């Protein structure tokens, strides 16, 4: 029986060359798909920011639709009324919901039974849109800030600008409230897309 002294296989040089070629192929694939990965990350970050803005708008939508434009029951605070420095986009308005402003809508004789006052503002240091329920009064204070803004609920994060305006602007009897929110989108320093998202929504109080 004849025995071969050499058996088939790969030498160290063969393995080295194969690994180098495999590395080149993998790097080529990564370079090809890297823009796609980056774009997917950017889209994901923008969608997250849009979702955050949408949730903030949705949270305000019910409260502003349910409130009233009766003088003294809704106030938009400008800089001259104290909404400046640590605060921006300050508004106060009544609500007919009980149980810390989140319960059922209360009626008395077919009309809203005002239960508390809601205050909304942007904290300029934290870039948060915050909401506070004040159950001791149903008339917003004349000048900002109220006696207390705690406890509060964060209804928007990364908010770099916020404002409330009464519309039609400059009219003696406004009929609606416009809310404008601008939110920063993180991680877009190298992108040509806008670095912030802006949303403006007009609410018509129904009471």
| pLDDT tens string 11-27 | 877 778 778 888 888 88
Query: What is the pLDDT at residue 40?
Result: 66
Q: Whole-model pTM?
A: 0.77
φ, ψ dihedrals at 194, nearest 5°: -55, 140
φ, ψ dihedrals at 159, nearest 5°: -85, 110
DSSP 97: B
User: Closest by alpha carbon to 77, among 93, 65, 92?
Assistant: 92
Query: What is the pLDDT at residue 26?
Result: 80
Q: How confident is the model at residue 188 (pLDDT cuts 50, 70, 90)?
A: low
Whether the predicted pLDDT of 6 surpasses 70: no
Query: What is the pLDDT at residue 147?
Result: 94
Q: Please give the average per-residue pLDDT across 200-204, as a whole number.
A: 94
How far is it, in rounded angstroms, from Cα 126 to Cα 107?
A: 37
Query: What is the pLDDT at residue 75?
Result: 96
Whether the predicted pLDDT of 110 surpasses 80: yes
User: Closest by alpha carbon to 57, among 146, 127, 132, 162?
Assistant: 162
Q: How confident is the model at residue 202 (pLDDT cuts 50, 70, 90)?
A: very high
Query: What is the pLDDT at residue 117?
Result: 97
**Domain assignments of the chain as residue spans, ordered by start:** 42-203
Whether the predicted pLDDT of 2 surpasses 60: no
How far is it, in rounded angstroms, from Cα 53 to Cα 157?
A: 8
Summarised one tens digit per residue, pLDDT across range 140-164 is 999 999 999 999 999 988 899 999 9
How far is it, in rounded angstroms, from Cα 203 to Cα 139?
A: 20
Q: Please give the average per-residue pLDDT across 116-140, as a whole number.
A: 95
Whether the predicted pLDDT of 174 surpasses 80: yes
Q: Chain-wide mean pLDDT for the chain?
A: 85
Whether the predicted pLDDT of 191 surpasses 70: no
């Amino acid at each position: 029986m004849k025995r071969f002294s050499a058996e088939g296989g790969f030498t160290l040089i063969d393995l080295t060359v194969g690994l180098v070629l495999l590395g080149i192929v993998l790097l080529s694939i990564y370079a090809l798909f890297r823009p796609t990965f980056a774009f997917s990350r950017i889209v994901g970050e923008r969608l997250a920011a849009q979702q955050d803005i949408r949730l903030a708008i949705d949270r305000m939508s019910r409260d502003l639709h349910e409130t009233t434009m009766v003088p003294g029951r809704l106030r938009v605070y400008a800089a001259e009324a104290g909404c400046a420095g640590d605060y921006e986009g300050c508004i106060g308005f009544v609500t007919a919901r009980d149980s810390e402003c989140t319960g059922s809508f209360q009626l008395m004789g077919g009309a809203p039974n005002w239960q508390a006052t809601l205050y909304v503002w942007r904290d300029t240091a934290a870039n948060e849109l915050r909401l506070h329920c004040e159950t001791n009064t149903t008339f917003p204070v004349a000048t900002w800030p109220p006696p207390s803004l705690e406890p509060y609920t964060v209804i928007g994060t990364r908010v770099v600008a916020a404002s409330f305006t009464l519309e039609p602007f400059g009219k003696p009897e406004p009929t609606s409230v416009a809310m404008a929110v601008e939110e920063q989108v993180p991680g877009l320093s190298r992108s040509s897309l806008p670095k912030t998202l802006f949303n403006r929504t007009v609410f018509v109080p129904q009471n």
